[in-house]
């Protein structure tokens, strides 16, 4: 598998792993493919996918195999290009005979052999353009001759419209007219051909065929190649048919042909074909298994008459017997000019395709320029002939069997739909190609199913369930992820159909019961109960029909995979390891649905609808991405969610948990149409309040405070707000260059603050550092100490520092350090260092200290702390909502009823205040903390609880 991922399909391998389809089959026989499990046991898998339609006879059909052995023993040529190739001729003759009979036509066909479906379609498209080109060359000559007749003596009668189109002056000479006319007509003749195809069409993945394929993922990236395709919905098709000749004017082209009339030359409109072909599949496979409806058939036949273009029937999947006919169009009533076959035509062994072109639509010369190394090879042609003969032997016995077996599918799948009309939207098919379309599950009570819907992976997850749980192989249609497609062999046994439908019924019940766990279990290697338990929520209706005043969005992620049990109760069957494996393997696709909003109200009655936009990755995964500096994908996911939040009318978005760190505190975010906040200001504010509450019974004016990471964004704010209240403070910084300078700046800033607040503004003093400093400064002999020390060179803070150092050398006020051991005698320690892992040893911490570790990842590990129960640990504060409003219980994590995290609260407060700009963005400041605290008080969001868990 590793090499397949490394050298062949890096992303696809991840997708296969995520849905349990990452099997390696070593053997194939009849209706079964075989892989070996971890115990080296051979596991037979019932193959209903059938090589996307290629194995109508099953795998390694004995009926063909004997013939192939014979060809190999006979040493028949394979590469004898540029000679008269008899097996190709014999196959063509037989196909001609059968096609004429089946399509009830008398004329012959010309056959062009290829190797694959897309190649065959590409050849068909080239052939129609070859023919159209021949028509245009003839027309070009006719126009050139007619235009050459214009000369100095010609009387040319032009209408105003013509003059305008040819951009001619009123007095234009015959020569001017001739030149303008030639240029005008040439540009029209040179215009691109149009290929008409139907909605849901799939015609291959080569350049032109991909452009004729409806699914945008196959062609969007090719748009600069500018192939002109027009996709017709059933309504558009009827509209064109109703228009009649007008449709011809719209879809096809015209030019001005000079004609002599009563001694004058006039210009008449000459129509010509720009539509190269109209492409159809009698049963659209890849697009979602849609048999052509009677309305479409009639529309296609009529449109062909109106616009006079050839029809190409793409029978690559539906033909060669899959629908009980050599070409399924014959049964549907489409009279095509081209029939294209491949896939099953090779009997499950050979790679062969063929384009059958009606003699009258074929332009000789195309055969001179079209060839391919493998096209017409003797081996493939002989195998295809054997296959075709087998299908038609005993009065088309096998073809009849296809239809009969198809009936069994039809009856049983329709009965299943009757039982589960709420789960199965439609059952469609013909012969042995069937599709079951599921209703969208984006409204399921299961949040995992909702996300599966958003990721467009329902059909894939069902395929994974069927393979891992029941050893049945199906796959969704590439362009219709809610449709699972079945293309079994004609030798499928009835009991296998019954087994398949029974298993599908379990899936339907699991979906009905909102039980995503039941569907995912086998993919994670877990045995299921026989029937899926019911996890539908008993909640009735919406809590509040009216709209909230404002909307706020919040981006979060999983703390760890085990939280999925809360988010989706059907996942409670899984162990932590299984959940981790689920999150890891499905991280291939990170799309999620926003969680249904929680209504949070202010005390003033205004309300906010608060919506979580989760990213389904764990903190651990984000830490790994951070360590590898591999953040582009996660940042992109954040940007996608912000764009969604803007579109849904949110005015502010909070970057929760690690999303603030990976966006560099919001700075990497690309969107500027919404206010962004990390919520850090209130997180710090509430944390300070929590710390103050924890120390309220002690006299902090006699205590020593240590702030680790004191020069950092958050540590600095803690130091500035708390420092003046303590007896002394140590600011500890890293060994990084510049750290001492930054720590000193914080120190000076605090001294300046104390000076302004307590000396200039004469605020009341409550002891502690502020009191001590004011007292020292009051003892100054000369009141004008600032000018003495400042001398225009230093700030007030620095001046005070110099003064204190000079006059009180034995006292500690604010101590600057780069050594963690300086926390030793501290009573209260704030940890706000930015480190990738815990680095502070509990041994260095004083007995009964209070430690506030708000850093993420933590500076102190939970494990170490367990050995020191005397230390009171604090991880910040939790907010109480004014009206006891809560998040949905499934996403509360550690929160109780009526509680929110501070970062969420800040987001909500900004929405309530209709704050339009970014708030906690990049570094935060002390005044921002004080401002948001004031706003919180205004709306009555208060400190509820002291956070002691590592809840993020
Ligand atoms: N046309 C149709 C209708 C098909 O179903 C397919 C294959 N799914 C193709 C063309 C392309 O065939 P291939 O994959 O052999 O190129």
Q: What is the pLDDT of residues 414-432, one digit of tens each?
A: 999 999 999 999 999 999 9
The answer, as to whether pTM is greater than 0.85, is yes
Q: What is the pLDDT of residues 737-789, one digit of tens each?
A: 889 999 999 999 999 999 999 988 999 998 999 999 999 988 776 655 666 56
For residue 95, what are the contacts with CB-CB under 8 A and spacing of at least 6? 109, 111, 326, 354, 356, 388
Neighbours of 371 (CB within 10 A): 15
pLDDT tops 90 at residue 836: no
Token code pair at residue 283: 């049963």
Least confident range of 453-462, 731-740, 835-844: 835-844
Ligand 1 center–CA 117 separation, angstroms = 5
**pLDDT, position 170:** 79
**pLDDT, position 950:** 64
Q: What is the pLDDT of residues 326-380, one digit of tens each?
A: 999 999 999 999 999 999 999 999 999 999 999 999 999 999 999 999 999 999 9
Name the residue among 80, 99, 79, 133 with its Cα closest to residue 366. 133
For residues 485-489, give the mean pLDDT: 98
How is the chain split among helix, strand and coil, in percent rounded to 5?
Answer: 45, 20, 35
Distance CA 788, CA 782 (A): 9
What SS3 string covers 719-773?
HHHHHHHCCEEEEECCCCCCHHHHHHHHHHHHHHHHHHHHHHCCCCCCCHHHHHH
Q: What is the pLDDT of residues 24-70, one digit of tens each?
A: 999 999 999 999 999 999 999 999 999 999 999 999 999 999 999 99
pLDDT tops 50 at residue 131: yes
Distance CA 238, CA 291 (A): 17
Ligand 1 pocket, mutate which of 115, 116, 117, 353 (most atoms under 8 A from CB): 117
Residue 370, judged by CB atoms within 10 A of its CB (0-12, 13-18, 19+), counts as middle
Question: Confidence band (pLDDT; 50, 70, 90) for 91?
Answer: very high
Positive/negative CA dihedral, 742, 747, 751, 754: positive
Q: What's the CA dihedral at 447, 452, 455, 456 to 10 degrees?
A: -140
Which ligand 1 atom is the nearest neighbour of the CA of 118?
16
- How many residues are there in the chain? 952
Question: Confidence band (pLDDT; 50, 70, 90) for 656?
Answer: very high
Distance CA 348, CA 220 (A): 32
**pLDDT, position 541:** 47
Ligand 1 center–CA 278 separation, angstroms = 17
For residues 453-471, give the mean pLDDT: 97
Ligand 1 center–CA 335 separation, angstroms = 21
Please answer whether residues 351 and 374 qualify as being in contact, where contact means their C-beta atoms are separated by less than 8 angstroms.
yes
For residues 608-632, give the mean pLDDT: 95
**What is the CA 404 to chain-centroid distance, rounded?**
40
Distance CA 593, CA 324 (A): 43
φ, ψ dihedrals at 377, nearest 5°: -65, 145
Ligand 1 center–CA 53 separation, angstroms = 9
pLDDT tops 70 at residue 1: yes
For residues 823-828, give the mean pLDDT: 94
pLDDT tops 80 at residue 618: yes
Ligand 1 center–CA 772 separation, angstroms = 85
Which ligand 1 atom is the nearest neighbour of the CA of 478?
8
pLDDT tops 50 at residue 448: yes
Token code pair at residue 137: 């060359």
User: Cis peptide before 857, with omega less than 30 degrees from 0?
Assistant: yes
Which ligand 1 atom is the nearest neighbour of the CA of 284?
3
**pLDDT, position 352:** 98
DSSP 527: P
Cα 487 to Cα 41, 141, 237, 393, 642: the distances in Å are 27, 51, 29, 22, 42
For residues 174-180, give the mean pLDDT: 93
The percentage of the chain sitting over the pLDDT mark of 70, rounded to a whole number, equals 97
**pLDDT, position 952:** 56
Which ligand 1 atom is the nearest neighbour of the CA of 119?
16
Question: Confidence band (pLDDT; 50, 70, 90) for 594?
Answer: very high
Distance CA 587, CA 615 (A): 9
Ligand 1 center–CA 80 separation, angstroms = 27
Question: Confidence band (pLDDT; 50, 70, 90) for 479?
Answer: confident
The alpha-carbon radius of gyration of the chain (Å, integer) is 38
- Whole-number average pLDDT of the chain: 94
Residue 430, SS3?
A: strand
Which ligand 1 atom is the nearest neighbour of the CA of 206?
16
Distance CA 932, CA 881 (A): 15
The residue whose CA is least distant from atom 15 of ligand 1 is 117
**pLDDT, position 784:** 57
Question: Confidence band (pLDDT; 50, 70, 90) for 802?
Answer: confident
**pLDDT, position 785:** 60
**pLDDT, position 891:** 93
Ligand 1 pocket, mutate which of 211, 291, 317, 327 (most atoms under 8 A from CB): 317
Distance CA 451, CA 519 (A): 14
Token code pair at residue 775: 């007292």
Question: Confidence band (pLDDT; 50, 70, 90) for 153?
Answer: confident
**pLDDT, position 385:** 98
The residue whose CA is least distant from atom 13 of ligand 1 is 117
Name the residue among 226, 190, 189, 191 with its Cα closest to residue 211. 226
Q: What is the pLDDT of residues 538-573, one digit of tens each?
A: 665 445 578 999 999 999 999 899 999 999 999 999
Neighbours of 705 (CB within 10 A): 28
For residue 75, what are the contacts with CB-CB under 8 A and spacing of at least 6? none
DSSP letter string over 561-581? GGGHHHH-GGGGGS-HHHHHH
Q: What is the pLDDT of residues 865-907, one digit of tens each?
A: 899 999 999 988 899 999 999 999 999 988 899 999 999 999 9
Which ligand 1 atom is the nearest neighbour of the CA of 52?
8
Name the residue among 729, 742, 740, 731 with its Cα closest to residue 773. 729
Ligand 1 binding residues, C-beta < 6 A: 52, 116-118, 121, 202-204, 281, 285-286, 314, 316-317, 342
């Amino acid at each position: 598998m590793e090499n397949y991922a490394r050298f062949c399909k890096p992303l696809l391998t991840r997708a296969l792993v995520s849905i349990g389809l990452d099997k390696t089959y070593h053997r194939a026989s009849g209706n079964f493919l075989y892989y070996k499990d971890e115990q080296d046991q051979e596991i037979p898998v019932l193959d209903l996918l059938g090589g996307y339609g290629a194995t109508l006879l099953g795998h390694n059909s004995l009926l063909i195999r004997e013939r192939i052995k014979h060809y190999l023993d006979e040493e028949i040529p394979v590469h004898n290009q540029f000679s008269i190739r008899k097996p190709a001729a014999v196959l063509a003759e037989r196909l001609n005979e059968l096609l004429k009979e089946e399509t009830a036509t008398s004329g012959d066909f010309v056959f062009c052999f290829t190797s694959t479906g897309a190649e065959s379609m590409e050849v068909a498209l080239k052939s129609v353009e070859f023919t159209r080109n021949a028509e245009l060359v003839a027309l070009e000559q006719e126009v050139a001759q007619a235009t050459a007749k214009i000369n100095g003596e010609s009387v040319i009668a032009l209408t105003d419209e013509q003059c305008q189109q040819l951009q001619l002056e009123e007095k234009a000479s015959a020569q001017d007219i001739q030149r303008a006319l030639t240029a005008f007509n040439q540009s029209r003749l040179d215009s691109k051909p149009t290929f008409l195809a139907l909605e849901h069409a799939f015609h291959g993945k080569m350049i032109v065929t991909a452009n004729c394929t409806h699914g945008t993922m196959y062609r969007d990236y090719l748009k600069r190649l500018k192939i002109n395709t027009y996709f017709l919905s059933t309504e558009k098709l009827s509209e064109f048919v109703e228009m009649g000749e007008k449709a011809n004017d719209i879809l096809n082209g015209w030019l001005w042909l000079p004609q002599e009339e009563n001694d004058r030359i006039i210009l008449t409109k000459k129509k010509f074909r720009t539509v190269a072909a109209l492409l159809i599949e009698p049963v659209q496979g890849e697009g979602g298994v849609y048999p052509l409806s009677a309305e479409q058939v009639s529309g296609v036949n009529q449109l062909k008459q109106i616009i006079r273009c050839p029809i190409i029937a793409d029978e690559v999947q539906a033909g060669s017997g899959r629908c009980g006919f050599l070409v399924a169009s014959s049964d549907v009533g489409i009279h095509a000019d081209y029939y294209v076959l491949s896939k099953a035509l090779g009997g499950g062994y050979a790679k062969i395709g063929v384009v059958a072109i009606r003699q009258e639509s074929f332009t000789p010369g195309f055969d001179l320029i079209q060839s391919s190394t493998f096209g017409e090879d003797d081996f493939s042609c002989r195998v295809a002939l054997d296959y075709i003969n087998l299908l038609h032997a005993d009065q088309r016995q096998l073809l009849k069997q296809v239809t009969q077996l198809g009936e069994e599918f039809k009856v049983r799948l329709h009965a299943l739909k009757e039982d589960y009309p709420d789960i199965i939207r439609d059952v469609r098919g013909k012969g042995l190609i069937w599709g079951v379309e599921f209703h969208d599950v984006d409204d399921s009570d299961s949040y995992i199913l909702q996300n599966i819907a958003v990721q467009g992976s329902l059909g894939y997850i069902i395929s994974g369930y069927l393979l891992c749980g029941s050893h049945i192989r199906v796959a969704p249609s590439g362009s219709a992820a809610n449709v699972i497609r079945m293309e079994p062999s004609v030798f499928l046994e009835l009991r296998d159909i019954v087994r398949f439908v029974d298993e599908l019924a379990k899936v339907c019940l699991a979906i009905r019961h909102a039980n995503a766990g039941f569907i995912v279990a086998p993919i994670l290697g877990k045995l299921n109960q026989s029937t899926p338990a019911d996890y539908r929520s008993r909640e009735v209706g919406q809590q509040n029909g009216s709209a909230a005043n404002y909307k706020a969005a919040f981006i979060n992620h999983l703390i760890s995979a085990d939280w999925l049990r809360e988010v989706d109760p059907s996942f409670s069957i899984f162990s932590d390891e299984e959940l981790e494996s689920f999150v890891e393997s499905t991280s291939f696709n990170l799309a999620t649905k926003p969680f249904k909003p929680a209504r949070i109200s202010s005390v003033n009655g205004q309300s906010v609808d608060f919506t979580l936009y989760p990213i389904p990755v764990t903190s651990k995964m984000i830490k790994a991405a951070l360590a590898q500096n591999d953040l582009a994908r996660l940042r992109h996911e954040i940007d996608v969610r912000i764009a969604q939040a803007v579109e849904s009318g949110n005015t502010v978005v909070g970057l929760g948990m690690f999303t603030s760190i990976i966006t560099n505190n919001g700075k990497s975010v690309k969107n500027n149409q919404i206010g962004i906040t990390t919520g850090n200001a209130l997180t710090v504010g509430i944390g300070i309040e929590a710390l103050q509450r924890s120390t309220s019974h002690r006299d902090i004016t006699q205590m020593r405070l240590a702030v680790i990471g004191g020069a950092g964004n958050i540590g600095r704010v803690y130091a500035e707000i708390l420092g003046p209240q303590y007896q002394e403070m140590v600011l500890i910084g890293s060994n990084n260059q510049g750290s001492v300078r930054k720590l000193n700046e914080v120190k000076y800033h605090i001294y300046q603050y104390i000076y302004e607040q307590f000396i200039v503004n004469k605020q009341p003093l409550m002891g502690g550092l502020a009191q001590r400093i004011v007292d020292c400064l009051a003892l100054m002999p000369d009141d004008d100490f600032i000018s003495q020390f400042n001398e225009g060179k230093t700030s007030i803070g620095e001046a005070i520092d110099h003064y204190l150092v000079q006059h009180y050398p034995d006292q500690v006020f604010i101590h600057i350090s780069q050594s963690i051991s300086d926390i030793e005698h501290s009573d209260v320690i704030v940890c706000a260092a930015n480190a990738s892992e815990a680095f502070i040893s509990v041994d260095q911490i004083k007995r009964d200290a209070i430690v506030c570790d708000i850093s993420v990842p933590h500076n102190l590990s939970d494990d170490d702390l367990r050995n020191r129960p005397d230390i009171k640990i604090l991880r910040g504060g939790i907010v109480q909502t004014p009206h006891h409003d809560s998040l949905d219980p499934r996403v509360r994590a550690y929160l109780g009823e009526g509680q929110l995290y501070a970062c969420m609260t800040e987001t909500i407060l900004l929405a309530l205040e209709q704050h339009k700009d970014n708030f906690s963005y990049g570094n935060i400041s002390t005044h921002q903390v004080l401002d948001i605290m004031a706003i919180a008080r205004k709306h009555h969001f208060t400190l509820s609880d002291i956070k002691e868990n590592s809840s993020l």
